[in-house]
């Protein structure tokens, strides 16, 4: 005779925002679960309105309330509040971009005058922890912000306490007060210091407002790819 226990009953949860919002068609906070990542579910924000919906937020900056100048462990596990400023975490981002089918990336940004632009890539994936979460796949670009991420393709993630960039003499994360897939050093730095217009140290997207104008707002989102690469 089979005896039910809490361990034998598994909550059936969606694995991404496409399935989470399939019935409601509403943006909001949803609980999801990726079996190959962990049996522990976690909360995400889903955008059901932008460009057909199904988007899952992985990063947001809008008021400087959360410090993004953090260490490797914090970037691995994620930080902030999912309904405010936050970074989802490299562990979850690896699972989301490798276990849920091909993903595309949409980045929405606003400058100090609230003028919006976007960058979209029809493929996006990062490596695992042994690969230092390298920016592994980045597909075709479209958008009004210009492409300031392609130059980082193949680069490992760097934080102030884990130098994986290609600069010969400095840690790009420590120098530019952020954490990113730095080369030597960057054409984008979306985890830079909020409101800092010092060269390269703010929230930068070089092809949209350059290195001396920190962006006021950014939102990074992924969903299962709808376009061919």
Whichever domain contains 112, its CATH number is: 3.90.215.10
Structural domain containing residue 22: 17-154+210-224
Average pLDDT, the chain: 94
pLDDT of residue 216: 99
Number of domains in the chain: 1
The secondary structure of the chain in percent helix, strand, coil, rounded to multiples of 5, reads: 15, 30, 60
pLDDT of residue 229: 44
| Residue at 49 is within a domain | yes
DSSP summary character for residue 91: H
Pairing relationship of beta strands 135-138 and 28-32 according to DSSP bridges: unpaired
| Residue at 9 is within a domain | no
| Residue at 97 is within a domain | yes
Closest CA to 106 of 228, 225, 229: 225
Q: Is the pLDDT of residue 4 over 50?
A: no
Q: Is the pLDDT of residue 3 over 90?
A: no
Give the dihedral sign, CA 156/160/79/143: negative
| Residue at 83 is within a domain | yes
| Residue at 36 is within a domain | yes
CB burial class (10 A; 0-12, 13-18, 19+) of residue 167? middle
| Residue at 92 is within a domain | yes
Give the tens place of pLDDT for each residue, 172-187.
999 999 999 999 999 9
Q: What is the pTM of this model?
A: 0.93
Q: Is the pLDDT of residue 65 over 70?
A: yes
pLDDT of residue 48: 98
Give the tens place of pLDDT for each residue, 78-121.
999 999 999 999 999 999 999 999 999 999 999 999 999 999 99
| Residue at 159 is within a domain | no
176, β-bridge pairs: none
| Residue at 78 is within a domain | yes
């Amino acid at each position: 005779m089979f005896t039910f226990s809490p361990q034998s009953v598994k909550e059936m949860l969606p694995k991404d925002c496409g399935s989470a919002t399939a019935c409601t068609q509403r943006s909001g906070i949803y609980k999801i679960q990726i079996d190959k990542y962990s049996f522990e579910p976690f909360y995400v924000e889903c955008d059901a309105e932008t460009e057909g919906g199904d988007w899952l937020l992985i990063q947001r900056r809008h008021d400087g309330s959360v410090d993004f100048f953090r260490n490797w462990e914090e970037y691995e596990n994620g930080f902030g509040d999912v309904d405010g400023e936050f970074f989802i975490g490299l562990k979850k981002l690896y699972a989301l971009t490798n276990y849920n089918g091909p993903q595309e990336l949409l980045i929405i940004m606003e400058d100090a005058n609230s003028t919006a632009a976007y960058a979209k890539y029809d493929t996006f994936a990062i490596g695992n922890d042994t690969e230092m979460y390298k920016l592994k796949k980045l597909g075709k670009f479209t958008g009004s912000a210009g492409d300031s991420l392609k130059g980082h393709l193949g680069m490992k993630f760097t934080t102030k306490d884990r130098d994986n960039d290609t600069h010969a003499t400095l840690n790009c994360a420590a120098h530019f007060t952020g954490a990113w897939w730095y080369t030597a050093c960057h054409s984008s730095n979306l985890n830079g210091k909020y409101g800092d217009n010092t060269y390269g140290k703010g929230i930068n997207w070089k092809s949209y407002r350059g290195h001396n104008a920190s962006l006021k707002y950014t939102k990074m989102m992924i969903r299962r790819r709808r376009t061919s690469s």
